[in-house]
Amino acid sequence: MNLPTALSFWPPGNSHMAAFMRAADWSTSPLGAPAGWPQCLRTAVGIMLESPAPVAIFWGPERVLLHNDACIPFIGGQHSAGLGSPAAKVWPGVHDSVLKPILDRVFAGEAVTVEDHDVPLRTNQGRGEWPRVVAASFSPIRDETGVVAGVFHLLPPATQGLRLDVAQGPRDAEMESLTRLVPALLWQSDPSGAAMRFHPSWTAYTGQSPDAARDGGWLEAIHPEDRPGTARLFSEAQARQEPLETELRIRARDGRHRWFQMRHAPLTEPGRGVVRWIGAALDIHEHRLARDALAASEERFRVLVSSIEDVFYVTDLEKGRLEYLSPSYETVWGRPVATLLVDLSGFLDTLHPEDRAAFLAGKERQLRGEAVSIEYRIRRPDGAERWILDRSFPVTGRRPSLAAGVASDVTDRKRSEKALRASEERLSGIFASATVGLSEVGLDGTFLQVNDELCRILGRPREEVLRLSIPDVTHPDDIAPSFAAVAKALEGEGGADLDKRYLRPDGSLAWANSRVTRLRHGSGRADSLLVVTVDLTGRRAAEAALRHSEHRFRQFGEASTDLLWIRDASTLSFEYLSPAFETIFGLPRDQVLGGNHVLRWAGMILPEDRPRLLDDIRRVRAGDSVAQSFRIRRGTDREIRWIRGTDFPLFDERGRVERVAGIARDVTEEVETHDRLRVLVSELQHRTRNLVAVIRSVADKTLAGAGSLDDFRDRFRTRLDAIGRANALLSRLEEGDRVTFDQLIRSELAAHGTLDGDAHPARVALSGPPGVRLRSSTVQTFALALHELATNALKYGALSQPDGRLAVGWSIVDGPGGTPLLHVDWRERCRLTEREPDESERRGYGRELIERALPYQLKARTTYQIGAGGVHCTITLPISSTS
């Protein structure tokens, strides 16, 4: 094999043979270039080159030789010419008689160990000497399908003078053979296997002293998981006096464990039987890891093939049968795998009759060892017709009759191609009439066809555009995204789109949306791209207006004293909450903008209002608008506040509720004012009814006792004035307040001029507790009674005489059940008159009011007496419970 060229990247490493293999010309080797080697061979070569022990590999039907640096002493001057050559060419004299029988057994699947045998490799630079070794192994290397593709040949090291420090006299030659068994750890024991003595290599690797290793102590260096099995194997080997071989992990001096291949064998002498046991442990750590990795890789391959949608198969072309068929066959063909594995002859019946000839022609090419790719139609049992792309190839390193393949269902692709061909026929018409920009672009980005609308968008004449490419008219920042969209369109059937900026000759930019779709032409014509370009000038302006509108909305929301909010309709999470929330609800906004905001917000609503409010939200999510009033307990001061608002849905472009929004305000003062007004109106209505009744009664009584119309007018006016004064007192009251008796008596006497301090000094004496609150419903009638008493005193009684006196006293007394009562004592003092009071004085309106109206209307107890000294009247009536 000639060596003029180089492979610069594989295999890695600094060893002599790694560099030699990288520099070699593999064109004359049956293996070919390393780039085409199967992964299992590349993995085995990597293990070989890293191994400190002599390793050779024989690969393929030609048994091509590969080896590492440690093997050079065994091959000698032949190692340069032998690398990459068949074994029969390297050792023509001994291949057929010595090496070939061994390799045939291994290629048949058997692992072979050659003990106490001449190594059939030339040493000492070809001078014809053969080393003798105690043991050498030949192990099969299997490819991804489990078939033996090569042989892994492990030799003991070409080391001279390695001996065990054991004095055995005549057996020194045997000890010399023992030291050559393996390159690592050595030992021997007596015939019983109990007294074991270890070579210093054991101590050097494990760190165990010879004393520590005796009496089974060496087992402490074995991995805990391997220790029981190793002890059992040694015991069984001793009992049967048979050699043992196993793989186990041995702890190194640094505490790490490495994999070793351990052999322990008896040495016998005629007539004496077993005279001793010798053993060795060979470091196979990298080989074991690579083997486990290969097994895992094979398992992943089987899982992958079983899970992909494409149908994977391996077929023996000579025998006309399938060796493997993936489960996806049942999905694509709609037929059971087991039937086809038993009898392949029925497969042709699944094909469309028009495609069977092409399929059979492809089979002939397979038999000639060609890679074949064909398309055909199949008919499933359900009548459906599917297009299949079948790609097969010969299996390298296996029997020539074996081929593997992948059958893919390409029905959808075929349909797309058919539709694409139809669309191409209509493309020219679309170009002429389309209101969007259309262009056909080559895979190199040059414009092939353009319509008028695209020219308008680009601001260039057609002739100029057809001389340009996509980068020439694209903003520099959008060139990379444009190429990414093209790549995406080329990868799949769906196409790709993007918003981008086009450069016009005048320096202005045109925003547009470009949709890129691959056009598959076939018939030898290169594929191209269809680009649909939509002018986005209007949309961009609308988006800018929308951003401006959103900015104004947020300014409004931030300044508004009303609460504005927006929620996601599906999750009810707040998307916007104006600052007024913190004032109205007394909580920071971030406490309801995150987490379980619905529960936190609902928890502030009074329990009696909560169900109704949650039902309103459900109605809004269903599309209704709802006006609502409810109460909350404010977070800052726990005060109950009234909230009034309107909730309404926000719809998306398809008319579905996408968000719910609302406006709310604190109306607590408004509600309280309304409640006060309602009470006041009710009180006003009640008082008005009473006032009308009183005035009607006063009018009737006054009219009945008047001697003339002028007399009626004077009396009626004075009595209306008394009612007016009482109403004036009532109208000035705050909510919950009452007119007091001292206010009422002083107001009435002052109206008659008896409390001005000048006209009647010291003639009127008032005594009683201040602030005795009267019932508002009694004030008008009670005031009329006091008015009549005062009027009569001025006309006929104590206040009509200069030396007359009036004493009005009052007190609070207990009534039935502890009800508070006001007791008023009206007492006049004056000189005796010479005439008796006439009937009008005895039975006038005032007396009738006191003796009849007060007991009936006010539940009062009254007395009225006219004696020689003047009038003495008492009135006892219920008063406000707050007095």
Average confidence (pLDDT) over 755-783 = 80
CA count, 13 A, side-chain hemisphere, 603: 9
User: Which structure tokens are listed for 694?
Assistant: 């009183």
Give the pLDDT band of residue 465 (cuts 50, 70, 90).
Answer: very high
Buried b (16+ CB within 10 A) or exposed e, 770-793: eebbbbbebbbbbbbbbbbbbbbb
Give the pLDDT band of residue 9 (cuts 50, 70, 90).
Answer: low
Helix intervals (H) in 706-759: 709-731, 741-751
Q: Which residues contact 306 (CB under 8 A, 6 or more apart)?
A: 326, 327
Phi, psi for residue 529 in degrees, rounded to 5: -120, 135
Q: Whose CA is closest to 259, among 292, 235, 231, 284?
A: 284
The secondary structure of residue 678, as a DSSP letter, is H
Distance CA 36, CA 698 (A): 128
Q: What is the pLDDT of residue 464?
A: 93
The secondary structure of residue 742, as a DSSP letter, is H
Phi, psi for residue 148 in degrees, rounded to 5: -70, 120
Give the pLDDT confidence of 86-107 residue by residue, as tens digits: 988 888 877 888 888 899 999 9
Q: Is the pLDDT of residue 59 over 90?
A: yes
User: Which structure tokens are listed for 242?
Assistant: 């048979």
Q: Residue 83: count other Cβ atoms within 10 Å of its Cβ.
A: 21
Q: Percent of the chain beyond pLDDT 70?
A: 85
User: Which structure tokens are listed for 682?
Assistant: 């009710």
User: Which structure tokens are listed for 216?
Assistant: 């089974």
Is the Cβ–Cβ distance between 213 and 200 less than 8 Å? no
Is the Cβ–Cβ distance between 443 and 528 less than 8 Å? yes
Torsion of CA 23, 27, 32, 36, to 10 degrees: 70
Give the pLDDT band of residue 83 (cuts 50, 70, 90).
Answer: confident
Give the pLDDT confidence of 239-266 residue by residue, as tens digits: 888 888 899 999 999 999 999 988 888 8
User: Which structure tokens are listed for 357?
Assistant: 């000839």
Phi, psi for residue 527 in degrees, rounded to 5: -65, 160
Phi, psi for residue 16 in degrees, rounded to 5: -60, -45
Distance CA 276, CA 330 (A): 62
Q: What is the pLDDT of residue 251?
A: 94
Angle of the 741-751 helix axis to the 709-731 helix axis, nearest 10: 140
Q: Is the pLDDT of residue 703 over 60?
A: yes
Q: Percent of the chain beyond pLDDT 90?
A: 25
Is the Cβ–Cβ distance between 339 and 346 less than 8 Å? yes
The secondary structure of residue 849, as a DSSP letter, is I
Q: What is the pLDDT of residue 736?
A: 67
Tell how strand 372-379 and strand 437-442 pair up. unpaired
Is the Cβ–Cβ distance between 222 and 249 less than 8 Å? yes
Q: What is the pLDDT of residue 549?
A: 72
Q: What is the pLDDT of residue 683?
A: 62
pTM of the full predicted structure? 0.32
User: Which structure tokens are listed for 778?
Assistant: 């009694």
Distance CA 563, CA 155 (A): 88
Q: Whose CA is closest to 695, among 672, 722, 667, 732?
A: 722
Is the Cβ–Cβ distance between 230 and 222 less than 8 Å? yes
Q: Is the pLDDT of residue 656 over 60?
A: yes
Give the pLDDT band of residue 226 (cuts 50, 70, 90).
Answer: very high
Q: Which residues contact 55 (CB under 8 A, 6 or more apart)?
A: 47, 48, 67, 68, 70, 71, 152, 153, 154, 155
Q: Is the pLDDT of residue 208 over 60?
A: yes
SS3 call for 375 = strand
Question: CB burial class (10 A; 0-12, 13-18, 19+) of residue 148?
Answer: middle
Q: Residue 758: count other Cβ atoms within 10 Å of its Cβ.
A: 6
Is the Cβ–Cβ distance between 177 and 116 less than 8 Å? yes
Distance CA 536, CA 502 (A): 11
Q: Whose CA is closest to 830, among 764, 773, 733?
A: 764
Give the pLDDT confidence of 144-170 residue by residue, as tens digits: 788 899 998 887 654 333 333 333 444
Q: Is the pLDDT of residue 530 over 50?
A: yes
Give the pLDDT confidence of 289-324 residue by residue, as tens digits: 888 887 787 777 777 766 678 898 888 888 888 888
Q: N- to C-terminal Cα distance for the chain?
A: 130
Distance CA 793, CA 798 (A): 5
Is the Cβ–Cβ distance between 544 and 537 less than 8 Å? no
Average confidence (pLDDT) over 514-537 = 84
Is the Cβ–Cβ distance between 371 and 392 less than 8 Å? yes
Q: What is the pLDDT of residue 760?
A: 52
Give the pLDDT confidence of 429-441 residue by residue, as tens digits: 677 677 888 889 9
Q: Whose CA is closest to 439, among 486, 484, 478?
A: 486
Is the Cβ–Cβ distance between 879 and 772 less than 8 Å? yes
Give the pLDDT band of residue 397 (cuts 50, 70, 90).
Answer: low
Q: What is the pLDDT of residue 250?
A: 94
Q: Is the pLDDT of residue 216 over 80?
A: yes
Give the pLDDT band of residue 619 (cuts 50, 70, 90).
Answer: very high
Give the pLDDT band of residue 115 (cuts 50, 70, 90).
Answer: low
Considering only residues 112 and 457, tell me which one the structure prediction assigns the higher pLDDT: 457
Is the Cβ–Cβ distance between 230 and 212 less than 8 Å? no
Distance CA 549, CA 540 (A): 14
CA count, 13 A, side-chain hemisphere, 598: 11
Phi-psi region of 63 (alpha: psi -120 to 50; beta: other; left: phi over 0): left
* Range scoring the smallest mean pLDDT among 119-123, 383-387, 731-735, 873-877: 119-123
Among all chains, which residue has been given the structure tokens 């006063």? 698
Q: What is the pLDDT of residue 504?
A: 92
Amino acid (one-letter) located at 469: S
Q: What is the pLDDT of residue 873?
A: 95
Q: Which residues contact 580 (CB under 8 A, 6 or more apart)?
A: 560, 561, 562, 563, 564
Question: CB burial class (10 A; 0-12, 13-18, 19+) of residue 694?
Answer: buried
Buried b (16+ CB within 10 A) or exposed e, 848-882: ebbeebbeebbebebebebeebbbbbbbbbbbbee
Is the Cβ–Cβ distance between 66 and 57 less than 8 Å? yes
Give the pLDDT band of residue 466 (cuts 50, 70, 90).
Answer: very high
Which uninterrupted H or E stretch holds 216? none
SS3 call for 814 = strand
Average confidence (pLDDT) over 664-682 = 79
User: Which structure tokens are listed for 13?
Assistant: 């490493």
CA count, 13 A, side-chain hemisphere, 725: 21
**DSSP string covering 614-658:** HHHHHHHHTT--EEEEEEEE-TTT--EEEEEEEEEEEE-TTS-EE
Q: Whose CA is closest to 264, among 214, 165, 166, 198?
A: 198
Q: Whose CA is closest to 793, among 780, 779, 807, 783?
A: 807
User: Radius of gyration (Cα) for the chain, nearest Å?
Assistant: 59
User: Which structure tokens are listed for 637?
Assistant: 């001061």
Is the Cβ–Cβ distance between 844 and 697 less than 8 Å? no
Order of strands across the sheet with 764-767? Answer: 764-767, 805-814, 820-829, 870-878, 861-867
